[in-house]
């Protein structure tokens, strides 16, 4: 068994874990998440720790074991601390603003681009060129941030567009005379 598989998942106080034969539910201060698990992988709670185990060392079982351990660990972290992704908007006239729970962006098109906040996701716009996506599900936060970035990805010549915070955009040299 690899080291990551043997590493237990700590369960902080205030978090309850319910383990059914095919579903793991994690309830914490920020909400509740649930995930289906493969029938060959077992999740057991031992005191204040969760242990994930597999029946054999076959490649398929090793892959499912690591996946299940990561998903359960992300659920525990999500219901305690939550996840955030920060997006930066660069370009003249490009900006974002909140309209209720939803996001409305001006991205150089002839119309504003609305983004609806799905259940469990919250937007924060501290400045018009910065959007913060918050939620308890790591997968959902990443998916919503990717959909926002897809509205106007950064272009390589001037660097205009929406990018993740700290993302490096390889710049190209323009046409020479």
CA distance 95 to 125: 10
User: pLDDT at position 77, please?
Assistant: 95
CA distance 85 to 73: 18
Q: Which tokens go with 22? A: 């095919």
The CATH number assigned to the domain with range 3-80 reads 3.90.930.12
| Confidence bin at 10 (pLDDT 50/70/90) | very high
Closest by CA to 26, choosing from 70, 78, 69, 66, is 78
Indicate the burial class of 168 (C-beta count within 10 angstroms; 0-12, 13-18, 19 or more): exposed
Fold of 83-164: Outer Surface Protein A; domain 3 (3.90.930)
Where do the CATH 3.90.930.12 domains begin and end in the chain? 3-80, 83-164
User: pLDDT at position 6, please?
Assistant: 73
The percent of residues above 70 in pLDDT, for the chain, comes to 97
In sequence order, the 6+-apart residues with CB closer than 8 A to the CB of 155 are: 161
Convert the pLDDT of each residue in 56-96 to its tens digit: 999 999 999 999 999 999 999 999 999 999 999 999 999 99
User: pLDDT at position 51, please?
Assistant: 92
């Amino acid at each position: 068994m690899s080291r990551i598989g043997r590493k237990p998942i700590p369960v902080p106080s205030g978090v309850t874990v319910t383990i059914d034969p095919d579903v793991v539910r994690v309830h914490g201060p920020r909400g509740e998440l649930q995930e289906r698990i493969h029938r060959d992988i077992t999740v057991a709670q031992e005191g204040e720790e969760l242990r994930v185990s597999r029946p054999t060392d076959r490649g398929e079982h090793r892959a499912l074991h690591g996946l299940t351990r990561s998903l359960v660990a992300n659920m525990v972290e999500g219901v305690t601390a939550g996840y955030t992704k920060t997006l930066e908007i660069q370009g003249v006239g490009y900006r974002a603003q909140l309209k209720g729970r939803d996001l409305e962006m001006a991205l150089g098109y002839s119309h504003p681009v609305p983004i609806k906040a799905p259940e469990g996701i919250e937007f924060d716009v501290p400045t018009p060129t910065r959007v913060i996506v918050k939620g308890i599900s790591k997968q959902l936060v990443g998916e919503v941030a990717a959909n926002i970035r897809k509205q106007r990805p950064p272009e390589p010549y001037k660097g205009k567009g929406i990018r993740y915070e700290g993302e490096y955009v390889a710049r190209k040299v323009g046409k020479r005379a």
